Amino acid sequence: MKRVLVTGAAGFLGSHLCDRFINDGYHVIGMDNLITGRLKNIEHLFCKSNFEFYHHDVSKFIHIPGDLHYILHFASPASPIDYLKIPIQTLKVGSLGIHNCLGLAKSKGARLMIASTSEVYGDPSVHPQPESYWGNVNPVGPRGVYDEAKRFQEAITMAYHNFHGIQTRIARIFNTYGPRMRLNDGRVLPAFIGQALRGEDLTIFGDGSQTRSFCYVDDLIEGIVRLLHSDHVDPINLGNPDEITIEQFAKEIIALSNTNQKVVFKDLPIDDPKQRQPDITKARSILDWEPKIDRKDGLKRTFAYFRSLSADDLRHTEHNNFEQYITK
């Protein structure tokens, strides 16, 4: 049984990766310091013999006994609220964290994949964004801690590949959505759905003409797995090229929730990208991958998940009682 380490295992994408590898017959080691992750996302895995969990900060030295075949570094705050609240930790996980993962990969002979992001393109002047575009990023702006952490992460990963011969893969992930997102993480989709479920007006920052492209989580996980097992070393975009304006998206959420909320406009945050759409030509040709789940179907599934949450969750209450899992 091959063994895989997933950092950020209790987060949105990390928990879905753990599910996928468990279902594919791997022994999965999940690691998370729970600064933004939630144990609730992986509690169903604690009873499985091929899953173990390390409550650990990947920015500190990592020791994993035994063989290790794959490492997926998905630990990082991933929303504006998070990385503005914890900027130092955001920079550390993208620098010290990836350095520790690369050292572990080198010592174990493991293949390492990093979760990069469309944010490496910043507020793009090229549209849609191909992998060859170098980006338009403000390194000292409020989003710089996340953008530059991810850009550094790509640079050191390629350095280890070129200098040490480490097998590495780089996934540039565009906006992804689905069950297990946090309602209070500041990203537009959970923010809109949370407001709709609470009967609040939907808040748009800016005039609503800015665009985003949303990929359902199951599609993204399939792309990640295909990239991991491919021979492609350079960065590759993973996302859904179906672009929509934020104002149109708000109207879709209102229609989905069958409510009559209004849309409220507020000032656009500094350095917020005006456009976001992946060019997935490489993913199509190299990985034979493209999204299959359309936004209408994906939103129904996601809305049903959020509607099933407790009243505490809808009020933005977070629970991370690790002790209850230790005693199981």
Whole-number pLDDT of residue 37: 95
Whole-number pLDDT of residue 187: 85
Greatest mean pLDDT range, 56-60, 183-187, 211-215:
56-60
Neighbouring residues of 184: CB distance < 8 A, sequence distance ≥ 6? 81, 190, 194, 316, 318
pLDDT, mean of residues 233-251: 95
Q: Give the closest residue to 297 by CA, choosing from 217, 210, 191.
A: 217
Say how many Å lie between the first and final Cα of the chain, rounded.
24
Whole-number pLDDT of residue 301: 96
Q: Are 105 and 256 in contact (CB under 8 A)?
A: no
Whole-number pLDDT of residue 318: 47
Residue 205: pLDDT over 80? yes
Question: Is residue 292 packed enough to be buried (19+ CB in 10 Å), middle (13-18) or exposed (0-12)?
Answer: exposed
Q: What is the pLDDT of residues 313-325, one digit of tens each?
A: 655 444 454 444 3
Full DSSP string of 45-98: GTT-TTEEEEE--TTS-----S---EEEE--S--SHHHHHHSHHHHHHHTTHHH
DSSP secondary-structure letter at 122?
Answer: B
Residues involved in catalysis: 146
**Domain locations in the chain as residue ranges:** 3-326
Q: Give the closest residue to 187 by CA, choosing from 327, 68, 77, 65.
A: 77
Whole-number pLDDT of residue 275: 80
What are the tokens at 179?
Answer: 């069950």
Q: Give the closest residue to 223 by CA, choosing from 60, 1, 30, 17.
A: 17
> CA–CA separation, 211 vs 273, rounded Å?
8
Q: Is 235 helix (H, G, I), strand (E, B) or coil?
A: coil
Q: What is the CATH number of domain 3-326?
A: 3.40.50.720
Question: Is residue 252 packed enough to be buried (19+ CB in 10 Å), middle (13-18) or exposed (0-12)?
Answer: middle
